[in-house]
Amino acid sequence: MVTRERLKQEIDRVQENYLDILFRIIQAFEQTSPTKQRDILPHSSESPDDAAQEWHAFVESTYGSLASDPIERGDQGTYEVREPIQ
């Protein structure tokens, strides 16, 4: 198991030109820590039923919104015939 002291010792051995990169890596871990995730993701405490109800409400509110401008697939077109792959 790695301890903080061991980690600090290894950091002291890192070359100067890598310290910026190492610092960014440490910051990335801080931003994804469980305590910060609660602040970043306010809806993470929702139950699956709440999320499902929100999704159904979204679908119902947007259903048919493109009815006046339907999406159509254009012609396939023609492509040159090439040698078969063997």
pTM above 0.85, yes or no: no
Contact in structure between 40 and 47 (CB atoms under 8 Å): no
Q: Which pLDDT does position 33 carry in this prediction?
A: 55
Does 79 fall in a domain? no
**10-59: pLDDT as tens digits:** 999 999 998 988 888 888 887 765 655 555 445 555 677 888 888 888 88
Give the span between the Cα atoms of 22 and 18, in whole angstroms. Answer: 6
Contact in structure between 27 and 38 (CB atoms under 8 Å): no
Does 70 fall in a domain? no
Structural domain boundaries enclosing 54: 4-60
Does 15 fall in a domain? yes
Does 24 fall in a domain? yes
Does 43 fall in a domain? yes
Does 27 fall in a domain? yes
Does 77 fall in a domain? no
Domain total of the chain: 1
Does 34 fall in a domain? yes
DSSP, collapsed to helix, strand or coil, labels residue 54 as helix
Sign of CA dihedral 33, 38, 42, 43: positive
